[in-house]
Structures are given as structure tokens and as C-alpha cells.
Chain A
Amino acid sequence: DAGVTQSPTHLIKTRGQQVTLRCSPKSGHDTVSWYQQALGQGPQFIFQYYEEEERQRGNFPDRFSGHQFPNYSSELNVNALLLGDSALYLCASSLSFVGYEQYFGPGTRLTVT
């Protein structure tokens, strides 16, 4: 049983560029959440997708957007990259309405130069 997978593992971008990160949830899970973990900090909630719609959103600007596909996989898009967007981006999956635990992928390390 595959767990949560994310791609790519590492990414280097330049300020002003756009980036897309991808996530496949754990088998049987229907909900995907995205988190940003800056160096030395705890993860911060970006948003959550369920039934292909954004259900919850944290305090992140509109430059951060997402999508969920019919197979429950998800993408995180960040436009107009800033140096401060450099972080580990974590995807987590869960089964909606059954407990609240979320299972995390290994993350994508984004470096903005």
C-alpha cells in the first residue's frame, strides 16, 4: 500500500517564476491538505481540498492556489515566487469525516533564488 507521494523532491526557481508541486494521496483517502514548513518552524496550513473543491484555507495570499483531480491527487501552484517562499512543502492526505489524522508525504524542498 503506497503512502503519500510527492514530486518533485527538490526544486530551484528564480524570483517571479511560477511553480507546480504534485501530490498523490494514500490509497483510499479522499482529502488532501498542503502545508508550508519554513526552516526551523512548524508546518503552516495552506489549504485543504475535498471533492475537488477548496474546503479550508489558511493565511496565505492568492498567489498560492491548488487543484484536486477526480482521482484525488492534487497540485499546489505558486505564482510570482518570492525569496520567502523557500520552504519544505508538505502534502497530507486523510479520509474525510473518519478521524482527523493526516498522513504526510516526504515533501518538496523549494528554493527560490
Chain B
Amino acid sequence: AQSVTQLDSHVSVSEGTPVLLRCNYSSSYSPSLFWYVQHPNKGLQLLLKYTSAATLVKGINGFEAEFKKSETSFHLTKPSAHMSDAAEYFCVVSDRGGTSYGKLTFGQGTILTVHP
């Protein structure tokens, strides 16, 4: 079975300050992990993915995430927030095997607000 917990439902930062969105996962198999972003009234855009290669993953728009197996975490970071980063972010897990193969399980989402 696979599951995801996003530890913050809302995060508020000032423009130019670092962003940290926290995610813990549970997986019966070696997982693939993703972060997706959803802007208001838009579809989901893939930010980055981890599929068992390097544990530090770089994505689009300056975002990064680090896979930590011992902590079952996959936190999303960005050194300096931009106004355009304001959106809802979803942490997603997919088991690479078993009955959940090919199925994405989403967290509840974290709404990021960026203040000028």
C-alpha cells in the first residue's frame, strides 16, 4: 500500500525567502515520488520526479527535492520564492510494483502563498 502525508496545508513566505514544503510517504515497494503544482483553474504540472537515481532531484523553476529513505521524506525546496510560485503543490507516490503499480496517490496538497 502507498500513502502520502503533506505536513502543512498552508505555507506563507515573503518574496525572495526560501520555500520548504514537507512530505512524508509510505510505500510497500521502492517508490517513485513526484511533486506536481496546480495553479488556480489550471491542470497539474510536473515539477520534478524521483525514480531511484540521484537522491537530490532538480526540477523546473528552481525547485529541488531530496529523497531520504531513512526518514521516508521527500521535501520540496526553493532558495528564493517568486510571486509566480503561489499555487497548490501536491506530493505524489507511486509503487514500482505490487497491486498499486501505475497508480498515483496524491497528498492533500499545500497551498503556497507568496507575499511581496
Contacts and interface: CB of A to CB of B under 8 A. Distances in A.
B28 interface: no
For this complex, into which size category does the number of interface residues on chain A fall? 20 to 34
Nearest to A31: B102
Interface residues of B, number: 23
Pick the most buried of A33, A44, A45, A94: most chain B CB atoms within 10 A of its CB. Answer: A45
Contact of A58 (B43, B46, B103, B108): B103
Contact of B44 (A43, A44, A45): A43
Given A90-B44, A105-B43, A44 B103 contact: no
Contacts of A104: 36, 43-45
Given A56-B103, A106-B42, A106-B43, A100 B109 contact: no
B34 interface: yes
B34 A42 contact: no
Contacts, number: 61
A48 interface: yes
Given A42-B90, A42-B109, A103 B104 contact: no
B27 interface: no
Contacts of A106: 42-43
Query: Which 8 residue pairs across A and B have the least CB separation, nearest first?
Result: A42-B106, A104-B44, A100-B32, A106-B43, A104-B43, A100-B94, A43-B106, A45-B103
Nearest to B101: A56
A102 B104 contact: yes
Interface string B26-44: 0000001010100000111
Interface string A19-54: 000000000000101010000011111001010000
A101 interface: yes
Given A55-B102, A101-B34, 11 more contacts: A4-B43, A35-B104, A48-B102, A50-B102, A56-B102, A92-B44, A94-B102, A100-B49, A100-B102, A101-B49, A107-B43
A61 interface: no
A99 interface: yes
A28 B105 CA distance: 24
